[in-house]
Amino acid sequence: MNAKYILDNEFTSINKDFCLYPLVKTVSTKTIHKPLDMFGLVFVSEGLLTIESNGYTNELKKGTMYYSTPGSELRLSSSNNTLEGYFLSLSPIFIESLQQYGINADKELYQGCEKYDLNNDLNLRIKHLFTIMQDEVMNNKGLFRKEIITNLVSALCLYIMSEYLESNNSALKSDSIHVSARVKNLSNNFVKLVKQYSSEYRQVSFYADKLCISPKYLYFSVKSTTGITPNEWINRIVIHNAKKLLQKSDNTIKEVSYTLNFSNPSFFGKYFKRLVGVSPADYQRKIFFIDNQIQEKIELR
């Protein structure tokens, strides 16, 4: 990070899987945060914050939350002397731990958009949750510290999911949106774009911009016609391409990770294992073992 921090480093984490930083009130210089294999959640309860990520700029005002997936480079800047909020960084392992509470945060936080505008009541509730998290990180040294914090993050996910579903359902009812030829066409065009650009762009907002629609409408169009979300489509196509590359014996894992524009082989490995269940190396070994068995059977005949 730069010499001046937008993130207060006085307290950070309970372990490498959970890091919480309060936002400093007055910062004029940019700070770069590269959560290579971490999910990021920025919450602004007061003031104004600018976030640059993957070529896009977002202004976060009071009651706004921003979510980033692993591999995103975040540039945070603010000169607003009333800025208050938090930056939460979670590992895929921590995200997976939430499933025991019935929450798949990877999907439920990322409901087709990176930015959420919260109503005043929800803003206060989430601010209160983060305040309790901060107190737990700083003061609670007890046996159940991690479990308490995990439950607080679970509550945060449920608040966001509830708000998203309520606002989305209201929008659909008021606009009387139905699955139409246009919606199906948008969905088909989205899949074509993902096949074309997924090795370079894995943000839903990129494809929404390409199609000249909002991320929320893209989410509805794709989910209603295919049954899965835009983010799941992107992951599926990236993994499909990764498997095809790994099946070629002359491709190393390092070469595959850079071909698909991952920041480094380690992040690619964690991404692949999270979605496939095995590491790229194990997948490649299994493929070559099966090929060798088939070849041996052919030769025996």
Instruction: Please provide residue 205's backbone torsions phi and psi, each rounded to the nearest 5 degrees.
Output: -60, -30
Q: How far apart are CA 21 and CA 39, in angstroms?
A: 14
Amino acid identity, position 261: N
SS3 30: strand
| DSSP track, 133-198 | HHHHHHH--STTHHHHHHHHHHHHHHHHHHHHHHHHHHHHHHHT----HHHHHHHHHHHHHHHHHT
For residue 283, which of 255, 242, 254, 250 has the smallest C-alpha distance?
Answer: 242
pLDDT digits (tens, 9 = 90+) for 139-161: 777 778 888 888 888 888 888 77
Q: How far apart are CA 12 and CA 19, in angstroms?
A: 5
pLDDT digits (tens, 9 = 90+) for 239-260: 999 988 988 878 899 999 999 9
Query: Is the confidence at residue 32, as pLDDT, over 90?
Result: no
The pLDDT assigned to 298 comes to 43
> Quick check: 80 and 47 in contact, CB under 8 A?
yes
Average pLDDT over the chain, rounded to an integer: 76
> Quick check: 214 and 208 in contact, CB under 8 A?
yes
Q: How far apart are CA 50 and CA 77, in angstroms?
A: 5
The pLDDT assigned to 237 comes to 92
Beta bridge partners of 77: 50
